[in-house]
Amino acid sequence: MVLNAQDRELIAAIQGGLPLVAKPYAAIAAQLGLTERQVIARLQVLQAAGLIKRMGVVVRHRALGYRANAMVVWDIPDIEVERIGALLATETCVTLCYQRPRRLPEWRYNLFCMIHGRERNSVLRRLEQIVAFHGLEKIPHTVLFSGRSFKQRGAHYVESSKPPGQLRRSRGQKRSHG
Amino acid sequence: MPEKHVAAAGELMQSAELAILDTPLTLTALEKCLLNEYQRGFPLCASPFAEIAEQQGVSEKDVIGTLQSLQQRGLVSRVGPVFAPQRAGASTLAALAVPDAELAQVADFVSRFEAVNHNYEREHHYNLWFVVTAADEAQVQQVLDCIEQQTGLPLLNLPLERSFFIDLGFPLWC
């Protein structure tokens, strides 16, 4: 589907979330000079087209106690990646499952999935169970737990890419844990 | 696909997850319900909060007030649409291998780009991972080039090739 100018305005108005008022779509409509009915109809179209994957509450999982966040990356033979990707995607605890390009020799992994949990060991146990259950013992994989979160917010699809200024790298700065 | 096997692996893990519910966070039944049940299927009608209220047997004021409180406490980022990656614009996942002593500084520089929406430290030689999202691929590339030039660090650009993932929201208390 091709987005028109009005869609882009609507996405810009709504990407930060709906206003928490009794008639949120009417509020968005007023902002854009549309009717409430037009806004709702267009959101239905965007959702039906798969552009909006879901509408609802977007939680901050870290704040809710899900602090162990593992990006599990797999080096899967190309002919197997579709089968295994589809399999991993069905696991309840897997919250993302994407194929991405290898960048040899630096980066050999072509499938990425995310597993969240309250603590590291529960995540590793889940991963072990998934590996055993789906017979993935021979597939090389590695786990990248997240450390500090430097930034997290919803994607802004309609805005500029202007650089934020210069970086002056200074060496010998002490590492601090957040 | 062997449906039966797939379902069973998830079930095996449920008891383990339930055992670690002892979070210091105390949530009311309505808060848990809103966090868990409305990550998708949020009503597209004139008064969506009134519809949720009716489904849950509470008042519209309670629903709006509870969501406002969850948002103020930083437990909810927003209520609204989640867009499919690379459908509403262009995006990529990128990584940098940053010397430990410089990580905070480089991370801060990366975060200052409007186009960067997620930026995390990860335990790996490639220790800074971030998502760049913009209106089109040229803008994404511009941001990557700028970061690579300014940091002088080799950058991994790992755009999405295929998604196997069906976004049903974040599995809480599952």
Last residue of a domain, one of B42, B72, B102: B72
Share the mean pLDDT of chain B.
84
Q: What pLDDT does residue B73 have?
A: 93
Task: Clarify whether residues A39 and A72 are in a common domain.
Answer: no
Q: Does B145 touch chain A (CB under 8 A)?
A: no
Same domain, B96 and B59: no
Model confidence at B5: pLDDT above 50: no
Tally of structural domains, chain B: 2
| Selected residues 50-69 of chain A with any CB under 8 Å from a CB in chain B | 50-61, 63-66, 69
Give tens-digit pLDDT for B123-157: 999 999 999 988 889 999 999 999 999 999 999 99
| Domain contains B164 | no
Least Cα distance to B136 among A158, A28, A126, A121 occurs for A158
Write b or e for each residue in B32-44: b if 16 or more Cβ atoms lie within 10 A of its Cβ, otherwise e: ebbbbbbbeebbb
**Based on the structure, what is the number of domains in chain A?**
2
Q: How confident is the model at residue B63 (pLDDT cuts 50, 70, 90)?
A: very high
> Given pLDDT bands bounded at 50, 70 and 90, which one contains residue A2?
confident
- By DSSP bridging, strand B76-83 and strand A68-74 are unpaired
Beta pairing partners, B133: B91
Asked if residue B163 is part of any domain, the answer here is no
Residue A39 in domain: yes
Q: What is the CATH number of the domain that holds A104?
A: 3.30.70.3460
3-state secondary structure labels for all residues of chain A: CCCCHHHHHHHHHHCCCCCCCCCHHHHHHHHHCCCHHHHHHHHHHHHHCCCEEEEEEEECCCCCCCCEEEEEEECCCHHHHHHHHHHHHCCCCEEEEEECCCECCCECCCEEEEEEECCHHHHHHHHHHHHHHHCCCCCCEEEEEEEEEEEECCCCCCCCCCCCCCCCCCCCCCCCCC
Q: Are residues A36 and A87 in the same domain?
A: no
Minimum distance, in Å, between the CA of residue A138 and any CA atom of chain B: 19
Is B79 a domain residue? no
The answer to whether residue B57 is domain-embedded is yes
Residue B84 within a domain: no
- Number of other residues whose CB lies within 10 A of the CB of residue A4: 10
* Residues near B132 by beta carbon (within 8 Å), at least 6 away in sequence: B91, B92, B94, B113, B115, B116, B140, B143, B144
Q: Is residue B165 part of a domain?
A: no
Statement to judge: residues B14 and B67 lie in one domain = yes
pLDDT at B137: 92
More confident residue, A41 or A67: A41
Do residue B101 and residue B130 come from a single domain?
yes
In a shared domain, residues A73 and A109: yes
Of A40-44, A135-139, B15-19, least confident by mean pLDDT is B15-19
A171 assigned to some structural domain:
no
Domain boundary among B26, B44, B72: B72
Q: What's B84's DSSP letter? A: P
Residue A43 located in a structural domain: yes
Q: Does residue B144 sit in helix, strand or coil?
A: helix
Domain membership of residue A11 (yes or no) is yes
Q: Which structural domain, as residue segments, surrounds residue B131?
A: 90-158
Residue B21 falls within a domain, yes or no? yes
| pLDDT exceeds cutoff 70 at A161 | no
Position A52 pLDDT exceeds 70: yes
pTM score, whole prediction: 0.72
CATH number at residue B136: 3.30.70.3460
Q: What is the ipTM of this complex?
A: 0.72
- Report yes or no on B51 lying in a domain: yes
pLDDT at B122: 96
Q: Beta B128-134 vs A52-59: how paired, if at all?
A: unpaired
Distance in angstroms (rounded) separating the CA atoms of residues A125 and B1: 24
- ∠ CA(A136), CA(B161), CA(A131), 5° rounding? 10
Domain of A108 in residue numbering reads as: 68-145
For B:118-137, CB contacts with A below 8 A are 118-124, 126-131, 133-135
CA distance A107 to chain B (A): 8
Q: Is residue B55 domain-shared with residue B115, that is, in the same domain?
A: no
Please say if the pLDDT value at position A100 is more than 50: yes
- Residue written as tokens 């901050």? A60
Give A25's contacts in chain B (Cβ within 8 Å).
44, 46, 48
Q: What is the mean pLDDT of residues A128-137?
A: 95
Look-up of token digits 């999982």: A61
Do residue A164 and residue B6 have CB atoms under 8 angstroms apart?
no
Q: Are residues B108 and B68 in the same domain?
A: no
Is A111 within a domain?
A: yes
